[in-house]
Amino acid sequence: MGGADSRLVFVVQNAIEAGLDVMKNEPLLKAKIGLREIAQAANVSIATASRVLKGNTKVAPEIRKAVLEAAKNLGIDPSQRNKSKTLAFVLSNRAMLHVFHSRILSGAETYCAAHGWDIVFLSFHYSPQAPWTELHLPRVIQRQDLVRGVILSGTNSTNLTRLLTERGIQFVVFANNLIGDQDISKYDTVFADDMQGSEDATRNLIGLGHRNIWFVGNTGLPWFARCFEGYRHAMEASGLTPRESSTESEDETESGYLGTKSLLARDESVTAIVAGNDQCAHGVYKALRDRGLKVPNDISVVGCDDTVGSWLSPALSTTREFPELIGKQMVELALNRIADPGHPPQSVTVPTEFIKRDSCRPLAPSPEKDLEPVATTA
């Protein structure tokens, strides 16, 4: 081959290589052109279009809708720009090291790790009375290019769930602790079946011959209120009168202590106490000891949630709620929602188990108030 031919081959080869480079870079060029075209079609600035496509929630809903519709009309899928595999675990209005919710976090983290996702922890305190428009979300949650969804634990109110919904932020909520009149059918929820658990614990006491059974805890708090409903149902089903000694303290141990002290000060007839949770039962134990009473010789006690029950002396009979499984289920629903945003809201209820330990003793049935034995669930 002559010199001219060699030069011709060299030129053609360079042209082919240049064409391949252009083809390699074509998606980048399209992305850049696409952003400009989206902005023009939506009649917004390129910066605004970029914020919407990155998942920034600090954009007016009507502008966000216009940008997303423009992208769709141009054949561009904004979700392909958002490939982060990170969830945020938000603990609202509870102590950072709360024994129950920290175990929910542990279960959530384990499930995330097993499926190649990361999870970040955020402690968030807000007023349930504040209008949803005045709440200030943690900045990282507002970056949907960084955080794809929220695991909402702790104690939450309608204002936060409304804000997350309005901002288009995917979330799953631990529904036992929701405050306010909420239509939970609109979003993904996970429950612990604490009402059934409390009912099982109460029926266990009834089966042991107890009739003067009191509920202790702040029923103004949703988790205590749910346990009281289970207790009430078991009492009424057995022809017994539900009775409660409630205080307004939001400290769970203090609630048990003060509720029991009040009950004893009134010289009420009591042989057994159903505490709203294990921390509350800890307070019940302390109040009984202050009065010189022993568990279970003088008064039997059951708890709910099995967080610290095994640490008490005597070991507390209580309802196990499986918080690690709750965390797993919350992440599973969150990942399902991310994969299929249009799927109808899902709700999962995690069953409970009554754990018999050393805090209850049987009573001889009273002849004038003898009842048929009541089956219990162990």
| Secondary structure in 3-state letters for 238-275 | CCCCCCEECCCCCCHHHHHHHHHHHHHHCCCCCCEEEE
Tokens of 111: 């499930």
Query: Model confidence over 287-302: pLDDT tens digits?
Result: 999 999 999 999 999 9
Per-residue pLDDT band at 368 (split at 50, 70, 90): very low
Per-residue pLDDT band at 376 (split at 50, 70, 90): very low
Query: Distance between CA 303 and CA 17 in Å, rounded?
Result: 74
pLDDT at 9: 35
Tokens of 360: 């209850």
From the number of C-beta atoms within 10 Å of its C-beta (0-12, 13-18, 19+), residue 87 rates as buried
The region of weakest confidence among 140-144, 154-158, 350-354 is: 140-144
CA 328, distance to chain mean position in Å, is: 10
Query: Model confidence over 208-239: pLDDT tens digits?
Result: 999 999 999 999 999 999 999 999 999 999 99
pTM above 0.75, yes or no: yes
Q: Which residue has the higher pLDDT, 214 or 365?
A: 214
Question: Does residue 337 surpass a pLDDT of 90?
Answer: yes
Of the CA atoms within 13 Å of residue 125, those in its CB half-sphere come to 3
